[in-house]
A and B are shown apart, each in its own frame.
Chain A
Amino acid sequence: MARITAGVASSHIPALGVASDFDKTEDDYWRPAFAGYEWTKAWEREQKPDVVILVYNDHASAFDMRIIPTFAIGCAEEFQPADEGWGPREVPVVKGHPDLAWHIAQSCILDEFDMTIINEMEVDHGLTVPLSMMFGKPEAWPARVIPLAVNVVTYPPPSGNRCWALGEAIAKAVESYPEDLNVQIWGTGGMSHQLQGPRAGLINREWDNRFLDRLEGDTDELRHIPHIEYLRETGSEGIEMVMWLIMRGALGKRTRTLHRHYHVPASNTAVGHIVLEPA
């Protein structure tokens, strides 16, 4: 039987990918941001997950304004890194797990989550930066990846409550998959940041850390935070944190923190990272 063994959350700031690709991670500016991922890189080498369900948002790469799916699951054999305007990142192709992905899609739809199924898709920094942060620079990614793209760009994005509940449905789907697989779920994006307008550069260290605090234990307060609170407190792009709640929802009633990291800034953004396991 497949099982979700751990949850990982991380920012997916494009500049982290650039720093990794061009070997700048030891520069004074980048070292403290990357240092907080060393623990996780070593831990992932031991854990050897078979599959990562990677929750992220597409940044006008695979989806343009023609089609805006709220929850889209990638069921392809593989996903190429997207050209985001400066050429594709030189990272390995992302290998999918179509059989488990389709299983999750079917199970979630029967569970009343109306998923969009994607059979061809390129993946942008939202998905490939977390892979670099957790796995470094291997020849091939050490796990299969199921992309789960969430609309957090055009309002309204899904509520935190809906994201949490989707996580619960995904966990149920994984548990009913017959093959013995070690599955992790990653929630990405955030933490506080605003990339637009005169308020650009907003960071809310206190709010972000209270969010990290409440990912642990048996509280489900986070699922009730309304969109307006993310907008006021964490900048216009802080709303990405609803994607962390899909990860949290999939871990069940209670969690334990294995590792936690917070650093300001990376480019315009507060870097947040946490590793949780069901407790």
Chain B
Amino acid sequence: MSGPKDIHEYLAEFDDIPGTLVFTARRARQGYQMNQFAMSLMKPENRERWKADERAYLDEWAMSEEQKQAILDRDYNRCLELGGNIYFLAKVFSTDGKSFAQAVSTMSGMSFEDYQAMMIAGGRSPEGQRSIKEGR
């Protein structure tokens, strides 16, 4: 069996991964409204209303003020902390005309050019990025 023996142990390990927020049930619940808002941008008519007045569009959703501000700021790391999921947030940056690579580079704290150069050179090495506790 590759399944975990204990659900608490299984979930606790997720907090040991550097620079990563695993989309757990807790985050899915916290971010439900934010992710559903993002999902609504799949429809062209909603994209038009969103572009016309972002704040007014957000106010139609039962999101926290922090969540709304993180979306307005396009602060994707903050969105993830508040329960956002990248595939849902993708509707926001796609509507902005941004690619996955452009949006993802903003979360890594690198310029898009530096991020692209890192990817062309083979990507970010897993060395030291596997475990916070074990420093490996």
Binding site for B on A (CB under 8 A): 14-15, 59-61, 64-66, 82-87, 153-156, 159-162, 192, 194-205, 207, 223-228, 231-233, 235-236, 264-265, 267-268, 270
Contact = CB atoms under 8 A, between A and B. Distances in A.
Q: Which of B107, B119, B125 has the most CB of A within 10 A?
A: B119
| Interface-central residue, B2, B91, B105, B126, by most chain A CB under 10 Å | B2
Task: Name, among B3, B14, B90, the residue most crowded by chain A CB atoms within 10 Å (CB to CB).
Answer: B3
Given A84-B91, A267-B119, 13 more contacts: A85-B91, A86-B94, A153-B85, A195-B104, A200-B105, A200-B115, A225-B2, A227-B10, A231-B14, A232-B17, A232-B126, A236-B22, A265-B123
B19 interface: yes
A267 B100 CA distance: 8
Given A60-B85, A202-B124, A197 B80 contact: yes
B69 interface: no
A198 to B, nearest CB: 3
Contact of A202 (B41, B44, B123): B123
Contact of A196 (B13, B35, B80, B126): B80
A200 B104 contact: yes
The A interface is mostly helix, strand or loop, or mixed, namely loop
A224 B125 CA distance: 24
Contacts of B13: 228
Nearest to A124: B87
Interface residues of B, number: 59
Nearest to A222: B2
B130 A233 contact: yes
A202 B23 CA distance: 17
B109 to A, nearest CB: 6
A156 to B, nearest CB: 7
A154 B19 contact: no
B122 A196 contact: no
Nearest to A126: B87
B21 A197 contact: yes
21 contacts: A60-B90, A61-B42, A64-B35, A84-B90, A86-B94, A160-B2, A194-B20, A196-B20, A198-B77, A201-B115, A202-B125, A203-B122, A203-B123, A203-B124, A224-B1, A227-B10, A232-B17, A232-B130, A236-B17, A236-B20, A265-B120
A199 B18 contact: yes
Given A202-B124, A232-B17, A195 B94 contact: no
